Amino acid sequence: MTRQQREDLIKRYEALETGLVADAMDDLGLACGAVPGLFLCAGGKKPAAGFAVTMRQAKRTGPYDGVPKARHAQVIDGILESGDMLVIETGGIADVTTGGGLLALRAKMKGAAGFVTDGSLRDLDEIEDMQFPVCCAGRSPLRSLERLETISVNEEISLRGVRIRPGDVILMDTSGLVAVPAAEAERVADRAAKIRKEESAVESYIRKGLTIAQSRTRAKKDMDEAAGE
């Protein structure tokens, strides 16, 4: 995929909401991509989308010997590109942060789209001020330096049962987080856009005082007639 194609696809997803994308995946018979319990928790209220760069973290084995084993900085500096979203699986580690303000700032400076983890973050007020979208399951002041190690980079991970592969499209907003397989990203975006059009038509009739059932019937009739022209 060219840089322009990447940018165009991300713009399409940023114009959607997670609910529309989740509905589109259901309609297309795809595995559920909605990660339960994770949603945009800092960085604004607008949807944020990007291509997954994945990491898996775990509790450090053995005592700290002065050598860091958590490779956040190396991944951000060496792998992360504009439009990417760093997605970290911790298996739900809650008592140690897997990222904070400095990592978020560096990722933002590289043009990253956001930061996601099923673990904890810190410095969320600072991250909010820099308007960098992040999604996490908890908060902790404890740094990862002595406590976490990186198990894998850019391999398949799982966030609360949802499989995420490098290059998958990640969309997050205040309603939740959805992961879309890279091979299905265009098709899902097309279907989500169609659902939005359908829902807009239904909404217009509800605002005119019709019931939901009546609104759906009228909207479907309008769309069928438009398709037949």
Does residue 108 sit in helix, strand or coil?
helix
Is the per-residue pLDDT at 96 higher than 80?
A: yes
**pLDDT band (50, 70, 90) for residue 229:** low
Is the per-residue pLDDT at 128 higher than 80?
A: yes
- Residue 13 is predicted with a pLDDT of 97
Tokens standing for residue 196? 């939005």
Indicate the angle between helix axes 185-206 and 18-27, nearest 10 degrees.
Answer: 110
| DSSP-assigned states of every residue in 9-66 | HHHHHHTS-HHHHHHHHHHTTPPP-EETT--EEES-SS-EEEEEEEEEEEEPSS---S
- Domain 3-182: top CATH class: alpha beta
- The model carries a pTM of 0.92
- Residue 162 is predicted with a pLDDT of 96
- Residue 214 is predicted with a pLDDT of 86
- Residue 47 is predicted with a pLDDT of 94
What's the rounded Cα separation, in Å, for the pair 47 and 52?
15
- What is the enclosing helix (H) or strand (E) of 189? helix 185-206
